[in-house]
Amino acid sequence: MTAPEDPAARRVFLAATGQNRGKTTASLGLIAGIMRTGHRLGFLKPVGQRYLVVDGTRADEDAVLVREVFDLPDALNDMSPVTLPRHFTTDFIMGRITDDLAGQVEHAFLRIAAGKDLVVIEGTGHAGVGAVVGISNASVAALLASKVIIVSEGGVGRPIDEIVLNASLFEQHGVEVLGALVNKVEMDSHADLPEILRRGLAQHGIELIGCIPYSELLANPSLELIVTHLEGELLAGEATPGQTVGHVAIGAMQADHAMKILRERTLLITPGDREDMILASLAARGHPVMGLILTGGFHPSGAVLRRLRDASLFTYLVETDTYTTAQAANAILVKTHPTDTDKIATIIELVDGAIDTNALLDRL
């Protein structure tokens, strides 16, 4: 197949300093901001490591997410041209896979970019990821003649070190780094952090494009993920997709003391035989408790269970103790899904406040 002519569409490549730094968060927010300006936009995930199969097409989960959230018309196999199933890298190294992966990425980009004003390209992991199969993020950005934004997460020393390291590899490939976007920044407790990061990065010739504030809502799982990742029994309520936990609390103190620490959309983890805690949760003013995880395998009494079911309060029984359960809930890898409407709205709002979209567009 012959590729079409290289289109005039501008392009920006969102890279990261590692996994789970907030690259997808940045993509969603940036895409929303660009689309509000009226630009015709395309999205490309050149290399996918976490993929889904949709209507027989294997596609990276971020491509599926962006296509659904923004109702993009492009084919999934163009939005996600290369995915890496298990053993792919070994087979590639051993010569059992000889596909022209760079060619696949380039042709997919050209199809995506046709008729568009701008294409957002989302990388995978740090700048070197993909080098094992000949298509690192840095080499793909060079191949597609794209400028790069590097996404890292909050802190001082680590994000600056990681950003500088990744920028050096992009620069070795002749790729212009527009700057850095730092995610999960604790603005409330460290109001001076953006200025510290700006100065620290400037010492290495890198611009701070913006800081995305930390949000507990974005860091926490949905009730659906709780049920998916923790082995247990749903006693009451539903694990409705899109219901994201706002705050996780452990009910290990007296019930009246515990009620004072509840905030909106609290998931309360407490032993199943703490019926005082369960009843207090049901009665709490403003209904801040969105769900209960009952630990230790202790079933509440029939009367209490009936009240939970009458209230349709999410109640999930697990066999593990409270400490182990809290650790397991905290370890859940939180990814954004199309049904997470509250979370997506929050992402768009936070990124919009962190990035001057028009100023960024002027630099592309």
**Which residues of the chain fall below pLDDT 70?**
1-6
Q: List the end-to-end C-alpha distance of the chain, in Å, as a whole number.
A: 29
pLDDT for the residue numbered 2: 40
Tokens at residue 349, please? Answer: 């709002």
Predicted local distance difference test score (pLDDT) of residue 5: 57
Question: Which pLDDT does position 93 carry in this prediction?
Answer: 94
CATH 3.40.1390.20 occupies which residues in the chain? 221-330
Q: Determine contact, residues 185/191, Cβ cutoff 8 Å.
A: no
What was the pLDDT predicted at 218?
A: 85
Tens digits of residue pLDDT in 240-263: 877 888 888 898 888 888 888 788
- The two three-digit tokens of residue 258, written as one number: 């515990």
Q: How far is CA 244 from CA 95, 221, 265, 353, in A?
A: 45, 6, 8, 22
Helices vs. strands in the chain: H and E counts, helices first: 16, 15
Cβ-based neighbours of 220, under 8 Å, separated by 6 or more? 244, 245, 246, 247, 248, 267, 334
Q: Is 101 exposed, middle or buried (0-12, 13-18, 19+ CB in 10 A)?
A: buried
**CATH 3.40.50.300, the chain: domain bounds:** 10-215+337-362
> CATH classification of 221-330, choosing from 3.40.1390.20, 3.40.50.300, 3.40.50.970, 3.60.150.10?
3.40.1390.20
Distance CA 184, CA 212 (A): 6
- Residue type at 324 in one-letter notation: T
Compute the distance between CA of residue 239 and CA of residue 223 in angstroms, rounded to an integer.
5
Helix, strand, or coil (residue 358)? helix
Tens-digit pLDDT profile for residues 19-66: 888 899 999 999 999 999 999 999 999 999 888 888 888 999 999 999
Residue 252 confidence (pLDDT): 84
C-alpha dihedral sign at 23, 151, 37, 219: positive
pLDDT of residue 342: 86
pLDDT, residue 6, reads 63
Closest C-alpha to 63, from 357, 13, 75, 131:
75
- CA–CA separation, 140 and 137 (whole Å): 5
74 DSSP assignment: S
CA 330 centroid distance within chain:
15
Of the CATH numbers 1.10.10.10, 3.90.1210.10, 1.10.357.10, 3.40.50.300, which one belongs to the domain with range 10-215+337-362? 3.40.50.300
Q: Distance between CA 325 and CA 250 in Å, rounded?
A: 10
